[in-house]
């Protein structure tokens, strides 16, 4: 039996609930295919601030590095909203991404057949399904640039955040994006604001230069405002989108909504090698925390990405994704994806349905 070490950061709000179900799903896969997953629970975010006074304890970073992969729920909440930047729960997430060198964030946007009713777009726009991937740069740009607050005389105070990208940073995320497109339908759309921003002009030039190394991939460029519009006007034109940290943050929320719900989108944050941190793209949703209302599918699908990318367990990853598909096809829906005629269930039952489907469908 193979044993794997997984660092678990349940985090805040609905984080513990959805991670609970992801663990249940992983254990069902382990039982079906003969693997053991060993979990180490770690604190980060608001819960770490409450327990230890810091959002990202050094032992959490060390334990994440020591594990094969990290599975994270969500961090943040109203309770900590008054804290200054570096002391906020979100600093834990940014710190983990940076410390673990996870510069590539892969956010697959897939509209499951059974969920076509939950998609807010007209059916003719999504006929035949939606399937694209957002590749978001994760350790650079305005999230990590110089920032500050200064006195601006008669204008009062002024605050600034700098968007800065080096050629090397663009090249390494570009390589991930070109490779991703190569393994899919071969279409890559780079999203920027090159009509205004110098950093975007550098981004666009580097991507354009790289295209020569990937003759099998068709590269296009799009301004971010147009991309936001095209995602709801004609989403099927997209295969792989590559973009900066902040544009990727924004566009991936939009992408999630057109695939039914933000509760459906998983993500993988990757660096060099097979290590990864896996998390649903949704936040901590403190308004529904602890009420068994959260959708655990994004967390479960993140666990599937962990199986595939880090552990190279392709069959097991596919089994988990099939189990989610089966639960949806059987009509089970958490409140965020509920439509008339389907069966409303809670967080725990959603996890149970997936675990059951895994056990039923062992190939
Ligand atoms: C995400 C989140 C985070 C981000 C927040 C919580 C810092 O929105 O992962 O998309 O902006 O990266
Ligand atoms: Mg976001």
Q: Reduce the DSSP state of residue 81 to 3 states and report it.
A: coil
The atom of ligand 1 lying closest to the CA of 267 is 9
pLDDT of residue 6: 98
112, part of any domain: no
Distance 115 CA to ligand 1 centre (A): 25
Q: What is the dihedral of CA 224, 267, 340, 113, to 10 degrees?
A: 90
Among the listed residues 4, 10, 103, 143, the single catalytic one is 143
> Is 273 a member of any domain?
yes
Relative to the alpha carbon of 278, which ligand is closest? 1
Regarding whether 124 and 42 lie in a shared domain, the answer is no
Closest Cα partner for 107 from 13, 242, 274, 273?
A: 242
Our answer to whether residue 113 is catalytic in this structure is no
pLDDT tens-digit readout, 266-315: 999 999 999 999 999 999 999 999 999 999 999 999 999 999 999 999 99
Q: Do 146 and 242 lie in a common domain?
A: yes
Q: Which residue is catalytic, options 131, 253, 292, 322?
A: 253
Whether residue 169 is predicted with pLDDT greater than 80 in this model: the reply is yes
The residue whose CA has the least distance to atom 6 of ligand 1 is: 90
CA of 172 to the centre of ligand 2 (A): 21
Cβ–Cβ under 8 Å, residues 268 and 309: yes
Pocket of ligand 1 (CB under 6 A): 76, 90, 93, 249, 281, 283
For the segment 150-157, the average pLDDT, to the nearest whole number, is 98
User: 276 and 193, same structural domain?
Assistant: no
Last residue of a domain, one of 229, 258, 287: 258
Q: Looking at the structure, tell me whether residues 135 and 246 fall in a common domain.
A: yes
Q: Is 225 a catalytic residue?
A: yes
Q: Is 143 an annotated catalytic residue? A: yes
Residue 115 lies in a domain: no
Global confidence as pTM: 0.96
The percentage of the chain sitting over the pLDDT mark of 90, rounded to a whole number, equals: 95
- Is pLDDT above 80 for 363? no
Whether residue 283 sits in one domain with residue 210: no
pLDDT in tens, 216-269: 999 999 999 999 999 999 999 999 999 999 999 999 999 998 988 999 999 999
Beta carbons within 10 angstroms of residue 27's beta carbon = 16
Q: How far is the CA of 53 from the centre of ligand 2 (A)?
A: 25
75 alpha carbon, closest ligand: 1
Catalytic site residue 253? Answer: yes
Residue whose CA is closest, atom 12 of ligand 1?
249
Residue 114 domain flag: no
Are residue 172 and residue 216 in the same domain, yes or no? Answer: yes
- Say yes or no to pLDDT of 361 above 90: no
Read off the pLDDT of each residue in 7-17 and give the average, rounded to a whole number.
98
In this structure, the strands spanning 69-74 and 276-278 are parallel
Among protein residues, the one with the nearest Cα to ligand 1's atom 10 is 249
CATH number reported for the structural domain that contains residue 344 in this entry: 3.40.718.10
Q: Which mutation among 87, 144, 249 tests ligand 1's pocket best, with the greatest number of atoms within 8 A of CB?
A: 249
DSSP 8-state assignment for residue 139: S
> For atom 4 of ligand 1, which residue has the closest CA?
249
For 70, which DSSP code? E
My answer on whether 9 and 21 are in the same domain is yes
Q: Domain check: are 37 and 135 in the same one?
A: no
User: Among residues 203, 226, 258, which one ends one of the domains?
Assistant: 258
Domain end call among 236, 258, 280: 258
For the chain, the C-alpha Rg in angstroms (whole number) is 20
pLDDT, one tens digit per residue, over 67-121 is 999 999 999 999 999 999 899 999 999 999 999 999 999 999 999 989 988 899 9
pLDDT digits (tens, 9 = 90+) for 170-199: 999 999 999 999 999 999 999 999 999 999
Q: Could you tell me if 293 and 334 are in contact, meaning their C-beta atoms sit under 8 angstroms apart?
A: yes
Q: Is residue 54 part of a domain?
A: yes
What's the domain count of the chain? 2
Q: 34: domain range? A: 1-107+262-363
Q: What is the pLDDT of residues 317-334, one digit of tens each?
A: 999 999 999 999 999 999
Residues 126 and 234 reside in one and the same domain: yes
pLDDT for 118 equals 87
Looking at the fold, whether 270 and 212 belong to one and the same domain comes out as no
Same domain, 243 and 124: yes
In a domain, 228, yes or no: yes
Task: For residue 97, give the ligand 1 atom closest to its CA.
Answer: 12
């Amino acid at each position: 039996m193979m044993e794997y070490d997984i660092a678990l950061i349940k985090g805040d709000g609905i984080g513990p609930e959805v991670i609970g179900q992801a663990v249940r799903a992983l254990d069902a896969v382990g039982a079906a295919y003969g693997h053991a997953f060993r979990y180490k629970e770690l604190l980060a975010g608001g819960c770490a601030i409450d327990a230890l006074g810091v959002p990202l304890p050094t032992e959490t970073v060390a334990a994440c590095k020591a594990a094969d992969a990290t599975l994270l729920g969500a961090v943040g909440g109203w309770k900590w909203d008054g804290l200054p930047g570096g002391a906020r729960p979100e600093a834990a997430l940014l710190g983990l991404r940076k410390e673990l060198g996870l510069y590539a964030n892969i956010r697959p946007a897939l509209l499951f057949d059974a969920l076509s009713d939950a998609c807010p777009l007209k059916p003719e726009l999504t006929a035949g399904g939606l399937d694209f991937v957002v590749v978001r740069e994760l350790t650079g740009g305005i999230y990590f640039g110089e920032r500050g607050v200064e006195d601006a005389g008669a204008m009062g105070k002024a605050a600034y955040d700098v968007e800065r990208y080096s050629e090397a940073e663009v090249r390494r995320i570009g390589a991930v994006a070109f490779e991703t497109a190569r393994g899919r339908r071969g279409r890559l759309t780079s999203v920027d604001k090159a009509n205004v921003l110098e950093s975007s002009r550098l981004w666009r030039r580097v991507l354009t230069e790289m295209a020569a190394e990937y003759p099998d991939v068709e590269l296009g460029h799009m301004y971010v405002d147009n991309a936001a519009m095209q995602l709801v006007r004609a989403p099927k034109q997209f295969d792989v989108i590559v973009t900066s940290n902040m544009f990727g943050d924004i566009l991936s929320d939009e992408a999630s909504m057109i695939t039914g719900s933000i509760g459906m989108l998983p993500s993988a944050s990757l660096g060099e090698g097979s290590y990864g941190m896996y998390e649903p793209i949704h936040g901590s949703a403190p308004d529904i925390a602890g009420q068994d209302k959260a959708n655990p599918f994004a967390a479960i699908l993140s666990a599937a990405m962990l199986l595939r990318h880090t552990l190279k367990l392709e069959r097991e990853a596919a089994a988990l994704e099939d189990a989610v598909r089966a639960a949806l096809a059987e009509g089970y829906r958490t409140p965020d994806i509920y439509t008339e005629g389907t069966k409303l269930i809670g967080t725990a039952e959603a996890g149970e349905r997936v675990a059951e489907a895994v056990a039923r469908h062992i190939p």
